[in-house]
Amino acid sequence: MGKRLLWFVAIWAASVGLLAVVAYGIRLMIL
């Protein structure tokens, strides 16, 4: 259970970080 929760948190953090980087890149291109 703990290992599964750790995987879930790691994947969630990675996807949120990726979205933040993409949004930042789009903002740089627009501005």
Q: What are the mean pLDDT values of the chain's consecutive 10-residue runs (31 residues total)?
A: 93 98 96 83
pLDDT at residue number 31: 83
As a whole number of angstroms, the distance between CA 29 and CA 11 comes to: 27
As a whole number of angstroms, the distance between CA 27 and CA 24 comes to: 5
Enclosing domain of residue 25: 1-31
CA 7 to each of CA 12, 14, 24, 30: distance values in angstroms, whole numbers, following the listed order: 8, 11, 26, 35
As a whole number of angstroms, the distance between CA 27 and CA 29 comes to: 5
Number of domains in the chain: 1
As a whole number of angstroms, the distance between CA 30 and CA 15 comes to: 22
